[in-house]
């Protein structure tokens, strides 16, 4: 079962965000995606999977993560629709 990492050392959340942003760019992803990571007890970050089309249902990891970030489910879906409407072939991100 997936869950949010708790009690991260100072700066670790920013390091994880940087890892995810780099992976997203390197993989030429666009729109929404879910990047799965594991954090060892020693504080090493392992990239497990980059999912460019994660399950969007309520109660799934993607929607749950958005909710923890303060994004209500309906607003999450609207953001994804808006990303799609703005998408242009050949444009990054």
Per-residue pLDDT at 21 exceeds 90? yes
In angstroms, the CA 15 to CA 93 distance is: 20
Question: Which of 7, 11, 35, 9 has the alpha carbon at shortest distance from 21?
Answer: 35
pLDDT for 90: 65
Going by C-beta distance under 8 Å and a sequence separation of 6 or more, which residues neighbour residue 93? Answer: 24, 25, 30
Q: Which residue has the higher pLDDT, 87 or 85?
A: 85
* Phi, psi (rounded to 5 degrees) for 38: -130, 145
- What length does the chain have? 93
| pLDDT per position as a tens digit, 42-84 | 889 999 999 998 999 999 999 999 999 999 999 999 999 998 8
């Amino acid at each position: 079962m997936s869950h949010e990492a708790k009690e991260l050392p100072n700066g670790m959340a920013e390091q994880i965000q940087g890892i995810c942003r780099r992976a997203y760019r390197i993989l030429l992803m666009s729109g929404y995606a879910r990047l799965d990571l594991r954090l060892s007890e020693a504080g090493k970050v392992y990239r497990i999977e980059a999912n460019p089309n994660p399950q969007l249902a309520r109660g799934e990891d993607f929607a749950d993560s958005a909710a923890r970030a303060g994004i209500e489910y309906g607003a999450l879906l609207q953001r994804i629709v808006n990303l799609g409407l703005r998408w242009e072939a050949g444009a990054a991100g």
